[in-house]
Amino acid sequence: MDIISRLNTRYATKAFDASKKVPAAEMDQLLEAIRLSASSYGLQPYKVLLVENPEIRAELRSAAYGQSQITDSSAVLVFAANTAINVETIDQFVNMVSEIRNVPKEALSSFGDMMKGSLQNMSEDQIEIWVSKQAYIALGYGLVSAAVLGIDTCPMEGFNGPEFDRILGLEKLGLKSKVVLAVGYRSAEDQYQHLAKVRYKKEDLFLKF
């Protein structure tokens, strides 16, 4: 597999073919790739909502300035940051590390204290920014993995976050919608697929020291 040709073939799909559904096995692979995303301390302070229900998607589309990708794609993934992260969340995470790696909890106490310390040093706004960044890393995993799998996507932040949160009932879960990945297959009519990539030249992007 040539990763560069896959990344050149992918583009932010504006028009999906609404008749095409991503097969469940491929969708599973995409979700698994997203699950494997790296995150700060490994905390994964976000959830990824898989929205397939047509009525909910119609509502979300209205809250996304009418963008057709929300209803015409095969599925919509909403990356929602866990802005309610707190010391209990960190304790639960430390327990999970302890179980999965078979390490006594006591051996992880300084790791837990370090994470709690850095959380306690942040304002609510700083926490929201930090957890949102982690959600965007997961988005990046999704974008690249979909390209590798031959699945088309559109990353989207053109939507009203509080409206999405209301429609999906996220407030009670301590979550805030941050970014969306519409997933499916391009329409043959989508002219955007023919546009050349606009990217800085290597020498303008990579500054060598």
Does residue 142 interact with ligand FMN by CB under 6 A?
no
Q: Which residue is nearest to ligand FMN (CB)?
A: 158
Quick one: which of 45, 112, 142, 155 contacts ligand FMN (CB under 6 A)?
155
Q: Which stretch binds ligand FMN (CB under 6 A): 17-25, 46-54, 74-82, 149-157?
A: 149-157
Quick one: which of 28, 52, 113, 157 contacts ligand FMN (CB under 6 A)?
157
User: What is the torsional sign of CA 117, 121, 125, 130?
Assistant: negative
Does residue 154 interact with ligand FMN by CB under 6 A?
yes
Does residue 8 interact with ligand FMN by CB under 6 A?
no
Nearer to ligand FMN, 41 or 136 (CB): 136
